[in-house]
Structure 1
């Protein structure tokens, strides 16, 4: 069905660049999908693949975007976003409790409150300044940094913590959703099995998935994964096809019912007539779409980003 090749990297690929590399690799002829992790790239492909050229391409990408251990990068993973969100929310709650319980002590630690707020906002301040220096125009982070600076100078840094907590929390959830999607894609492909039971003259024999062709009959038993798209010839089974439909409840399959690659039989046995194999299956078509979706914003998101940049000068005024 799929062949796999893993390339280990010398440096770490930032998480925000992993979907980009994955999409670029998918554009190579024969590659069905690519799973990019911190320090390794796994490609799934059909047919012949120029592995030397593939290695050179990945090494070039690694040289350009890879991150050495001693280097610092603006890229943040799920754990970092979670930590930033917890510190922001926890600090905001602690400051408000302290203000009500011990107002005098709360007033005496103004310097600490200011430094704490600036620490939480350090990434926004850096990105805001870089936007002015690199792009010669203010962006949303510039506006956020300005608001933080204003609240700190006014002696009310906690007012900025609310904004920072919301921003960090939203980014944490966005990164978590993207990382979860990447893990699920990787899991779907790793469920792949190399052999199937080919039915000939009433007898079953194990053959490689790659040898199947349209019209063949295969038997799939309890606990096995269906590796092809096809239709049921005989048998009854409860099939978990969450990888295709997202439904958690098993679907009942019987004669003439359609079945899809990536599904798993949870009860029963089936004999299936093969209709699609390998890169032609529904699963192979879905995986690239999900990967590519990670690199694209929804239309409403792109619209909001454009309008946000236009509103920055108005907000300053």
Structure 2
């Protein structure tokens, strides 16, 4: 019997429905003093219409990974290796001109602080219309008409008046909505959101989150949402990736990761929230500090802060352990039983999220 062609087998095993593909992404910032290893072998896939939330402490590499997808890092001091694809577009080989065309039309980004992304010298209407005119090759009247439609879409009150306003004349919530309008102006298929609600009041945060999720579903966009807020991830994510020291250390469906976390870091983060905690109970904290990205340890980067770490954890980087549902944890303390991933007895359960 003739053995099957290896290339045919590999083609059958590929996931054609994956729209965003990142494999072994490495990002280094190089200077005379040192090399900062900001992202260290990140891999994930995202289907069309899915929302991936990337969570972790400040400095874990979330924003660096996100900006790499748009090639926004300074080329002279940045070294990027690995694979990045959005649809049929290879981000690693794209020229500056090609990336300029892709930004806005295929992939767009909402930044954490809109005042750093919006030009203070131009009105909101000018900035939205310019983006539309550039990518859709329409005249100024059509650009302004589209700008008005977008402000209505993101529920900006009195949109005709806001079109003529400058960024500093709007509240934080309205500026963020205007930034969303700019990001959606050319109907991108992938939306990147870098902690877009962090600088907003709690009530405005909820409004913006609900709006983003609604627009994402209506437009059928894929979305990568960076946050350190577990509650945000629980509300909007289809999948969750937990990052630490530039690596994804846990990944899977949002419910699996947030309800049944398998990495000590994820469990520690969940245990440090007020959700389902008894009144007056002292919240847990994660001892120590994240590692220096200029000199990462040989073993698990979280080992110096982990109460369950053994000698082997300090010597070798743990392998990824994945169950049948695609729930992955990179931890030497995961006890593998087919169909069940659990920690050794004695580890307290993480608080449940609704």
TM-score relative to the length of structure 1 = 0.30
Greater Rg over alpha carbons, structure: 1
Q: Work out which structure has the larger RCO, using CA pairs closer than 8 Å and 6 or more positions apart in sequence.
A: 2
